[in-house]
Amino acid sequence: MTPSRLVLAIAVLCTLSDNTQVSVTGWLILTGYALLHFGLLLAYPFKNCRACKGAGHHQSKFLRAYRTCHRCGGTGKTLRTGRKALNAATRVRRARRAAANHRRDQVNGGT
Ligand SMILES: [Zn+2]
């Protein structure tokens, strides 16, 4: 278990406490953890590819030939899961806004 996950587990356990002070501390830690995680997603949207470990290629065992990684397409990087969720939320928000603008234009007769 990584240290950050240990802190997360302790914070979740604190929120379950009957003691109000401990519970509030747990919620504060959870909020800080979420904000930190969100900031890291914005700062570092990519992580090393799991299949090639960031190399972008695989090497064959016998001929020592290289072939491009099929997961990352040779870049060695993939989007983090949280960043994929952020991008999906952005797409949904833009689509809803475009639909609202389209409806408004229909009501106003296109003027
Ligand atoms: Zn890869």
pLDDT tens digits, one per residue of 38-83: 998 999 999 999 999 999 999 888 888 899 999 999 999 999 999 9
Residues in the chain: 111
CA of 49 to the centre of ligand 1 (A): 4
Element (DSSP H or E) covering residue 78:
strand 77-79
pTM summary value: 0.65
Which two tokens mark 35? 């904000």
So where are the chain's domains? 1-44
Token readout for 47 is 């992580």
Q: How far is the CA of 24 from the centre of ligand 1 (A)?
A: 42
Q: 26-42 pLDDT, tens per residue?
A: 999 999 999 998 998 99
> What's the gap in Å between 104 CA and the centre of ligand 1?
45
Please give the Cα distance from 31 to 25 (Å, whole number). Answer: 10
